[in-house]
Structures are given as C-alpha cells and as structure tokens.
Amino acid sequence: MTNSHELARLGQSVWYDNIRRAIIKSGELQRLLDDGVIGITSNPSIFEKAIVGSADYDESIQALAAQGETAVTIYESLAMQDIASAADMLRPVYDATDGVDGYVSLEVSPTLAHDTDGTIADARRLFAALGRPNIMIKVPATPAGMPAIRQLISEGINVNVTLIFSLASYDDVMEAYIAGLEANQSSDLSRVASVASFFVSRVDSAVDKLLAAKGNQTLQGKIAIANAKAAYKRFQQTFAGPRWEALAARGARGQRPLWASTSTKNPAYPDTLYIDELIGPHTVNTIPPDTLTAFNDHGTVAETLTMGVDEALAQLAQLAEMGVDLTAVTQKLQDDGVAAFAQSFESLLASVAQKQQALLAQG
C-alpha cells in the first residue's frame, strides 16, 4: 500500500504528469498503476523531452520520414501512438471506477490557444481519431478557450482545461462546463468527463519575488496553496444547489479540480509541499516523476484541503493590502504558459525535422 493508494481513500486521484514510450514498453507504467497511479497527463513540453531527449522514437521517425511525412504529422503520429497505448493500459481503471478515472490527456495544438474555432476542430479530430472513451482533450483556459470548452462538452468530448491560475478564470471554466452540460442533448450525462487544471507552484515562484522585494517573508510559500484552497471552496459552492442538481439528475458529474504544477520549485520548501497541503475529496493531483517518488517515500497523507480555509482567504486579502496584484500575476503566468507550450511545440517540430533529415541521411 503506497501513499498514492492512501490518497485514493481520501478521495484524491493520483495522475502521472509524464508520458514516454519507454515507460510504456518497459513495464514501468504498469508498475506505476500498481502503485496507485490512475491517470496520465501530457503537454507539449513533456513530449518535447520524450521525443527529442531520447532515441526511443528514432526508428519510428525514420520510417515515417521515409514515407514522406512532415515534421508535424510525424510528431502527431508518435504522440497519438503513445496516448492510445497508455489509454489502453488505463482502460481497466476507467471501467473499474465507472468512468471517474483512467484518463489520458492530450493537448490541442498550442498554436490554437487564441483560436476558438480551430480549438474545437482540433479537439474533435483528436478525440475521434483516438476513438477511446478514456481520452481527455486539453484546452487552455484562455478567453478563446471558454466557448470551445462549452461546445466540446455539449458534444460529449471529455475536456481537461489547462493553464488555470486565477479564481476568476476558474469561475469562467466551471461556467463553461456547466453551460456545456446544459446544452448537451443526451439524457445520460454520466460519460461526459472534465477536470479543471489549476496550477499551483508557479504562483509562489512569481509572488515570492514580489514579496521579497517588499521585505515580507511571512507570506512567502503560502499564496499558491491559499489560492488553491480558495478555488476548492468555489468548486464546492458551484457544484451544489438547484442548477447543478438538475444536471446531476441526468447523471452529470462535477468537474474535479486538478492540481497541476505541483513539483516544488524552491529548494527551501519541502519537496512534497504541493501535495501534502492540497489533499481532499473530489480532486486530482497530477504529479511529475521525481515528486511522485518523493511523496510515496515521505509524503504526509491527511485531509488538508478543507483545513485553514479562512486563514488562506485572509492571506490573499493581506497580499492585496500589500499592493500585490494577484490578478495581474496570474494573467502573466497564463500568458507565459501559453507562450512556453507554443515554444516547446515549435522547438519539438524543429528537432523532429532535424532528426528526420539525419536519419534519412543514414539510410
């Protein structure tokens, strides 16, 4: 019994924030599943590290290059193979949990972050091509992403909403999900799934610098968790009451908060900080490899998410009183996140093209 299994007893699902062909083929993914992982997330940066940073894919790249495929189609073919293989391995989890867990997430092209129609079309295409019920399509929580989320949910396409940093953005995400369910014509909504990926550690990385400049140490390392606890309170309030109950009567499930960016960036903080402090029911924590190893080794398992909420709200109020504009900070974090994923994608395509040429030259 691992700490990951213990989290499940408290209502929190552990998803693995990493995918790579080697872990699928070597049996490592099965070991992770045995140890309590019940979902997988990916993003362009993860695929860049997997494809560019290893020789795992060289044989496939060479074969696809010989067929005249472009760098874009080669990348997508590689990514889709990994996502499909992982989804098949996680299908027993999906079935055993009645569709609550067992999902694998794949992001729409990062170049579409500000393109509603393009996002909808890409999500439809990816979801149909993968043809598995335990796939989630990742859509960024940009203004252009909100109507896309609503439309995709109305069509029964599972959505992992990513790059949420602010409470206002989170409110918009929950509204898009609920409105999408209301527009869905199905009498049974139980197979429409969504999570809201609320990013954590990056908030402290940004805010701590501003606090240091003001000479404040008491709030350093506190605001990211406070922000997440405030978000969870809004989750509890939103998925209750007559409007939600009408959807629940049709089988609808709440859009669980998913804590993302939960590796500790500041070495002065505990390496399991953003897991230990955010444990609570109806949530997911997507955990990168090193952090998952650390948590299973020495993490603390206790329901903490619902504790100290008033203190968390007071900390957010104190931050505002000090003149730190958290709205501006979180908006910049989202903008930077969108740009970073787009940059990773472009770098990935350039590296695939280089590998393509080098492998073709080897014959």
Residue holding tokens 């609320």?
Answer: 198
Catalytic residue from among 138, 222, 229, 355: 138
Cα first-last separation, the chain? 49
Distance (Å, whole) CA 268 – CA 255? 33
Rg (C-alpha) for the chain, rounded Å, is 20
Based on the residue annotation, tell me whether 138 is a catalytic residue of this protein.
yes
Residue holding tokens 């997997």?
Answer: 50
Collapsed DSSP state (helix, strand, coil) of residue 146 = helix
Name every residue whose Cβ is closer than 8 Å to that of residue 324 and which is 6 or more positions away in sequence: 207, 210, 211, 214
Distance (Å, whole) CA 269 – CA 265? 8
Q: If you write DSSP's letter for every residue of 234-250 in order, what string do you get?
A: HHHHHT-SHHHHHHHTT
Please state, as a whole number, how many other Cβ atoms lie within 10 Å of the Cβ of residue 187.
7
Distance (Å, whole) CA 326 – CA 317? 10
Residues noted as catalytic: 138
